[in-house]
Amino acid sequence: MDRRNNTNVPDFILVGLTDSEEVQLVLFHILLLIYLVTVLGNAGMILIIHLDLQLHTPMYFFLSHLSFIDLSYSSVITPKTLENLIASTKHISFGGCLAQMYFFVFLGATEFLLLSTMAYDRYVAICKPLQYPLIMSPLLCCSLIISSYLIGSSESLVNVMYMKTLHFCDSNVVHHFFCDTTPILALSCTDTHDVETMIFILGGSTLVASLITISVSYASILSTILKINSTSGKQKAFSTCASHLLGVTILYGTLIFTYLKPRSAYSLGKDQVASVFYTIVIPMLNPLIYSLRNKEVKKAVVRLLQKRESTRLQVRMNPSIDESSTCEATLGPNAIRYLVHG
């Protein structure tokens, strides 16, 4: 991504969230805390799912990838934002800006597709429980994950290639805290109508396709749940979908508000607040939503803590026992592998 004749701008300046040094310092500490919680929460979720054999099911297989995407998504945006909050210069190279934009779009599109895949998984689990093990086979689960990554990567690559064709003449001041498409388009001194149309079609089609899949899946789920006679059965069915539905509602509501509108409706203040929410806050909320509202994850944490404590007790009672070998025997050799089915 070298500098070409299509731009006289060697780099961009990210204005950030505020000009006030006092506010910047406060925001730095708040965002740093959020980022640390995001890293610990998502990494912890991945580790728990990997180690607990009872969580080696399609639902948690997808959830571990969601945690990985959220962790990566936040890491693309937050570190540079934190640096700019305390740095005297807020420069980002032209290539670095395109790279940030690529991973931002790639991970975002992949998350849309993954959330629709998770909705389909819940549909099969509730509407076709007897066929669930057959339909949600390891091969299908892996195929769905790989397809999500490939589609997201392809969409992002097309997006960045179109952005590279733009001409940037004089101003290099980006009125945002990261390289998003809308503020970068606003700097171009050429007609951006075709690029905007392409981005809108690609992003809109992914978003709409994902929303349709989720809506159809949950409409079928709701219809099936209403046919259940027992109250406890209905509550159990609802509980399996509540976390996913809450996460989907928060993410999609924010993104629709931010992106599915013409550039003439762009508002710096409102869009920056929304952008902070879905790029920094939501990746922190997802592991909390899926863990605090999920009894299986809580039980898995308890089981792992109990196994760890049991290992320590065995080592204390018999010092000749190596703790690492005892841990392997307790968890089993397959606990360190990631399986779709336990």
**Residue 58's domain is classified under what CATH number?**
1.20.1070.10
Range of the domain at 92: 11-300
Write down the pLDDT at residue 267: 55
Give me the percent of the chain exceeding a pLDDT of 70. Answer: 82
* Residue 312 domain flag: no
* Residue 15 domain flag: yes
* Residue 309 domain flag: no
Tokens 């500098």, located at residue = 3
Task: Classify residue 317 by burial, with Cβ atoms within 10 Å: 0-12, 13-18, 19+.
Answer: exposed
* Residue 338 domain flag: no
Quick one: which of 22, 24, 148 has its CA closest to 81? Answer: 24
Cβ proximity of 234 and 228 under 8 Å: yes
Write down the pLDDT at residue 156: 94
CA dihedral sign, ordered 305, 307, 310, 315 = negative
User: Mapping DSSP to helix (H, G, I), strand (E, B) and coil, where does residue 91 land?
Assistant: strand
Residues of the chain with pLDDT under 70: 1-9, 257-271, 292-294, 309-342
Write down the pLDDT at residue 166: 85
* Residue 197 domain flag: yes
| Number of domains observed in the structure of the chain | 1
* Residue 342 domain flag: no
CA atoms within 13 A on the CB side of 37: 15
Amino acid at 315: V
* Residue 336 domain flag: no
Please state whether 332 falls in left (phi above 0), alpha (psi between -120 and 50) or beta: left
Amino acid at 251: L
Output the six-digit token pair for 55.
């969580």
Write down the pLDDT at residue 270: 63
Write down the pLDDT at residue 8: 58
* Residue 247 domain flag: yes
Cβ proximity of 100 and 134 under 8 Å: no
